[in-house]
Amino acid sequence: MKMFSKKMPLICLGILGMAGLLFTGCGQKSSSFQKVDTAMGTIVSQTLYVDGQGQEVSREIISCINQLEQELLSWRLPESEIYRINENAGNEEGMEISPKLAEMLKACLEVSSASQGAFDITIGDVVRLWDIDSWAGAEDISGFIVPEEEAIREALKDTGYEGITLQDGNLIMPKDFQLDMGAVGKGIALDEIRELLRQHKEVTGAVISVGGSVLTYGSKPDGSVWNVGVVNPLEPSENIGILKLSGEWCVSTSGDYERYVEVRGERYHHILDPATGRPASGGVRGVTILTKEGLYSDALSTACFVLGVEKGMALAEHFEAEVLFILEDGEIMMSEGMKKYLYLSNAGK
């Protein structure tokens, strides 16, 4: 038995020229500040270019992520809205939810509908059944049990985004349904961080990675582009290439190498196909999405992983996102627009 967990951000931050103190063209001082923390159960890496000190903003960013998890998105923490929604499943009256969460859920349902359920936040019961997150990276995985077909069928009965109703801030969820925001949480964090950075005019540029999702913001003092590496799922310590980006972007990656358990040569990873209740197995090893909003980049990376190349390309286009697929044999397929940003490692571009 082998196991592996890649909780480190697998899109690495290719930040070049990281001197402690940099100078902008207009003579203003801009210092670069770097920090790596853990939040939302993953690694958060920050590089901030600040006219002044970066520590305080950096702390606020971590608080913002923690608050998002504790107050809105966690299925584990009793004070979060998602937890209370899950507790309230089966209440025919439904439950009033905050306008902020309502907006997020609306966007999630939009992606569910456009992806014909390949992305589905009502998949909570099936995620709990597999429990990959608990086992991936564990020293001893002898207790990991591949769920029985019957158990998967049962859990699947309590899923299906079409079963929930969201109207005027009221959410009605059938009995035993459980929401899981794992596929969008990191992307939502990027959107929140961007809003926070906008309030801090002293931050002139930033690149922030929350797990597999990266936000680029503003610009570097020397005007050069942001470099965001795209991991090779076949060799996760290497990049297949670099995305060269100017200004604000969100880049999310979903891959079968991020969190998985391997039993007798079979890999059970954390991205489930809601149609089967099993790890998605459409021949894709990794998907990277490039778009302006984190919620969408994250939701779409998961959806495209499940859908595979043909349907995934169409879905990304529908949301005006760029997409890159890495297939089992290492072949790389991408949208036309993605080609403008990607510099392949072995292409000598």
Residues contributing to the site for ligand AMP (CB under 6 A) = 119-121, 123, 127, 133, 180, 182-183, 254, 258, 270-272, 274, 298, 301-302, 306
228 binds, among ligand AMP, Mg ion, none (CB under 5 to 8 A by kind): none
153 φ/ψ sector (left φ>0, alpha ψ -120 to 50, else beta) = alpha
Query: Cβ distance 286 to 332 under 8 Å?
Result: no
CA distance 56 to 111: 35
Residue 186 CB, nearest approach to ligand AMP (Å): 7
Residue 178 CB, nearest approach to Mg ion (Å): 18
> Cα 60 to chain center, whole Å?
20
Q: Does 301 bind Mg ion (CB under 5 A)?
A: yes
Residue 292 CB, nearest approach to ligand AMP (Å): 18
> Cα 262 to chain center, whole Å?
22
123 binds, among ligand AMP, Mg ion, none (CB under 5 to 8 A by kind): ligand AMP
Count of CB atoms within 10 A of residue 70's CB?
14
Comparison of 42 and 302: residue with beta carbon closer to Mg ion: 302
* Token pair belonging to 270: 């954390």
Q: Does 115 bind Mg ion (CB under 5 A)?
A: no
Q: Does 120 bind Mg ion (CB under 5 A)?
A: no
- Of 77, 299, 281, residue with least CA distance to 181: 299
Comparison of 189 and 203: residue with beta carbon closer to ligand AMP: 189
Q: Does 112 bind Mg ion (CB under 5 A)?
A: no
Comparison of 187 and 277: residue with beta carbon closer to Mg ion: 187
Q: Which residue is nearest to ligand AMP (CB)?
A: 182
* Token pair belonging to 326: 């890495």
SS3 content of the chain, % helix, strand, coil (to 5): 30, 30, 40
CA distance 144 to 133: 11
How deeply is 186 buried, as exposed, middle or buried, from its count of CB atoms within 10 A (0-12, 13-18, 19+)?
buried
Comparison of 178 and 301: residue with beta carbon closer to Mg ion: 301
Binding track over 177-216 against Mg ion, x by CB under 5 A = ------x---------------------------------
Task: Count the residues of the shown chain that bind Mg ion, applying the rule CB under 5 A.
Answer: 4
Residue 121 CB, nearest approach to ligand AMP (Å): 6
Strands (DSSP E) contained in the chain are: 2-5, 21-23, 29-39, 42-50, 95-96, 165-167, 170-172, 203-210, 213-218, 226-231, 239-245, 249-255, 259-263, 266-269, 272-273, 278-279, 284-291, 322-327, 332-334, 342-344
Residue 172 CB, nearest approach to ligand AMP (Å): 20
Residue 23 CB, nearest approach to ligand AMP (Å): 38
Comparison of 248 and 298: residue with beta carbon closer to Mg ion: 298
Quick one: which of 102, 302, 316, 326 contacts Mg ion (CB under 5 A)? 302
Query: Cβ distance 297 to 187 under 8 Å?
Result: yes
Positions in the binding site for Mg ion (CB under 5 A) = 183, 298, 301-302
